[in-house]
Amino acid sequence: MPWPTPLLGSPLERGEGWRVTSFPIGGDLDVRRLGFGAMQLPTEPGAARETSFAVVRRAVRLGVTLIDTAYMYGGGANEELLAEALYPYPDGLLITTKVGVARSSPSDEWKLDGRPAVLRDQVEQALRRLRVERIELLQLHRIDPETPLADQIGTLRDLRTEGKIGRIGLSEVTVDELGRARGIVDIASVQNRYNLLDREHEPVLAACEAAGIAFLPWRPVAWGKSGARAEIAAVAAEAEATPTQIALAWLLGHSPVILPIPGTARVDHLEENLAAERLRLTPAQRDRLDRLPAPE
């Protein structure tokens, strides 16, 4: 089955000479485009936690300025780990978190919960755990279908007015949902599942590009499946790179609003991921990757 139509004026048409390494989220918050997703970091006490500290500190030393976390990642434990590892935060570091998913007890399953009182409480707790007075980018983890969208987005808008949020983002939304939310408040970012082998949300990416909204693809390297595709492996061999690096380089060259946030719990994988920023695909290589068929 074919992929959706590529973006008008895509990097394939204009080449990769235009590519820049930073993006102004919300028009004024400049971050390095290749960030870090903290979800995979172990948070339990012991050697694994110390390794998590080493990974995230190495990321910052290597110039990462965008780190993504969420309340759902351990019920706030991931946020606490980042604060313990990095506070006081260096100038220019953005830690973005997400709210809107909850459970009533540790044994319960996570469920969407965008009720205003829940969103307010989760933001307050995130401020405490991250040790900040304002979250510069706060994203709604999912839209709760049982709570009016206006109540969910309106609550975040009110929190922004109160100075507790700097910018508002969404996650896993459709073009219609993005448009409805933008009718209530400015949206600075969208975090949808997207990678070289999964382009279902190409229309959302196109909408973000048209509006200058940052697009943070989660699962940016298809959980390591990229190397299983012969064409990707062939391009990787030609470029003397890994399939993961090819997948990340493809994302960075596909649209200037894409800010990949690959995650890992290993320093060597972190360094491999960040090296993809220096990789430039040739027009022929990009054409071959763009033409990969969608999985059945």
The tens digit of pLDDT for each residue in 121-161 reads 999 999 999 999 999 999 999 999 999 999 999 999 999 99
**Sign of the Cα pseudo-torsion (233, 237, 242, 247, in order):** negative
Give residue 7's pLDDT: 41
Q: What is the DSSP letter of 225?
A: G
Catalytic residue chosen out of the listed positions 73, 87, 89, 194: 73
Q: Which of the two residues, 16 and 295, has the higher pLDDT score?
A: 295
In this structure, the dihedral spanned by the alpha carbons of residues 76, 81, 84 and 85, taken in order and rounded to 10 degrees, is -150
Give residue 294's pLDDT: 75
Cα(213)–Cα(205) distance, rounded to whole angstroms? 9
Query: Is 87 known to be catalytic?
Result: no
Cα(276)–Cα(266) distance, rounded to whole angstroms? 16
Split at pLDDT 50, 70, 90, the class of 223 is: low
Q: Are 156 and 119 in contact (CB under 8 A)?
A: yes
**One-letter amino acid for residue 171 of the chain:** S
Calculate mean pLDDT across residues 14-23. Answer: 63
CATH topology for 27-224+258-265? TIM Barrel (3.20.20)
Percentage of residues of the chain with pLDDT beyond 70: 91
Q: Are strands 29-32 and 22-25 parallel, antiparallel or unpaired?
A: antiparallel
Domain boundaries, the chain: 27-224+258-265
Cα(189)–Cα(170) distance, rounded to whole angstroms? 6
What's the angle, vertex CA 51, arms to CA 45 and CA 56, rounded to 5?
A: 110
